Structure 1
């Protein structure tokens, strides 16, 4: 059972279906039957926004398909749209079909919304069926209800008001993956300063530095790392590596030394 009451769902639905002024949309369903519920500016590098968008998309699609083993409806009820925005560049938006059942969406006769409310409350009322036939050339097919996909989307939107994560574990995984990628890139940059080291030496020093680089995780947002600190860690690991190598050579027995001692 949804935790949001019908009034709250209706308020969210009205907001989602409000069409932006002076905007062109490539699909007639947008802001007609399908409302916008979540956005993601793909090139913003905002990891929380990315995680929330993709996690929400998975949950909403799962809700759309739940209990329907013979047919997937997520492609009908859920649209993962993409558009260009002058400020954000590439902008992805989740559009969700808000209602199902009730009067046809193209009913435009006078009193349409009063009729839809009446139909919702009185699915077998003769007035409801008559209105649809006369004004919409169709029939009422039961009370108008919110789609499971929209209910899930509304739950997510409401939850984000109190807690910033749709799925905190997903965000943590993405953050750590980005951290590892950023560390590897910064480490490669640091290693280029010592291009006279052998490949084996570079690999050994890098492995040694990795033991300390984990300390940088979480110091900056979105898995970012301070490249200067990575360079410092690598330099310290390199100094320690060659110091140990030098000590091994200095303390190694000289050839023939043991024979002289035994003489």
Structure 2
């Protein structure tokens, strides 16, 4: 990972979209601080379209879209995207999701994990999720240790679910999607932009192992400072990393991007 000072004018100048994780990337310990919100407004004012790509619930995605200066929110690890069109908020569901029987499979998986893993619990916002199951390991006590996290992941995969581990949740879902495949489908089906355009004209910001699929696809990628806590467990790292953590690090990334773009004017 390189310092933000190494970001080039050429890299910053070609960007039309900034894709970003939310929890512990824009937020800091669960809160949106003024510097991060200001950074989102500065991106919008500069003509860079921000899309949140998160393992968080569709319910939170609806709130972000209504309150923040962003274009869309791809929620639940790629399952559903909320976006504005003609003054209304629309939902785009990933085409690999089979609706029939989906809720029954979710219920069975929840019951299996909760009955098998000591201290396992659902995220407090599970009620706001449509297609994703989030088991909380790090946002509210009691916390799961690494052995507990591994046990949850193994049980989910045993029952046919895909999984991703974020800084606070273990996400599980049924369908052929992840953060990148969800992003690719939304850009293609809704925005009419192909994969090559997306990768060449977008950057991605994240903080945790579940962001690796995005880091691997976007040549211009960023980690906030807390990414350094996970380096030993990651195979793919972002190209650049901020010094500060959470929202302060996100603001540093935006500062670097806009400063380089300013040199083109």
Name the TM tier (shorter chain).
under 0.3
Q: Normalising by the residue count of structure 1, what TM-score does the alignment of the two structures yield?
A: 0.20
Q: Mark the structure with the bigger radius of gyration.
A: 1
Higher helix fraction (1 or 2): 1
Quick one: higher RCO (CA 8 Å, sep 6+), 1 or 2? 2
Higher strand fraction (1 or 2): 2
